[in-house]
Amino acid sequence: MKKNTEKILKKIYLLSILFFLIPFLKANQITSTNSKIKENSKVKKAILLVTFGTSYNQSANVYKKIDILTKEQFQDYSVFWAYTSEKIREKLRKEGIMIDSPEDALIKLKKQNYDIVFIQSLHVIPGQEFDELSKIADKFKSEFNTIKVSPPLLNSMKDLESTAKILISKLPTERNKTDAVLFMGHGSPEHHSDLIYVAFAHVLQEHDKNIFIACVEGNPNFQKTINEIKNKQFKRVFLIPFMTVAGDHVKNDMAGDDENSWKNQIVKTGIEPIPILKGIAEYEEIINLWLEHLKKTISQEN
């Protein structure tokens, strides 16, 4: 009876979080459709894939996979990229690699006479960077016949369930049911979307009580989560990124040699950490969730 009551309370809590977020999620989808369609000329259509960015070659290869899948599934569109991180773009620029910001990419698309632009956010949650991307798109709403931002990975209860099932199916085969799993999210402490990580934690635990998620910033809190794992007397914990690619946070904050890395903090508790350096975009099934969002966004305009 007690377990059933706890389960009902958790579902009510989860639904209340998502109910709070729905107005914000819907508000962040920017759309503009102008009535002026070019006559007697071919309509030029573009997809702009936007992500935080990375300076790691291995991670950049993951983006290539996303690029290939996007071009395969949207053959009537030209595909372009932009990074939201100015720091990453500057670092790459010094290495001779030029990557556009979202705003610069849209300026170029306008100059190349594109009529329709769909922007696919490759972020995990509709957080601050997604808000900024939506604002940038809004500035260009008079420049294109159609411009619309498609939502990131976690944008509905269905997204949380689908993502959880995929990631659980991809857990290392050497992981036993008695081993804990800790996903590392980025977090967004100053933004309401931070609640999505909390909701996702509940979804994961509905599938497997030994799976946890904590964030570098925000909630669920790493220290509190580690204390919970320690109190449950796990012998091993698999550390797995809940980030698009295994970049700086994963290689340093999660699995680095610094004493404050998650790996070394877990060692101090007497638990064996097993880091897995693999971002979620390395799984084709996860990429397809983003692309399903894009298909839905495009279909709503047709």
Q: Does the active-site annotation cover 186?
A: yes
Contacts of 293 (CB under 8 A, 6+ apart): 120, 150, 151, 152, 155
Catalytic residue among 186, 191, 249, 293: 186
Catalytic residue set: 186
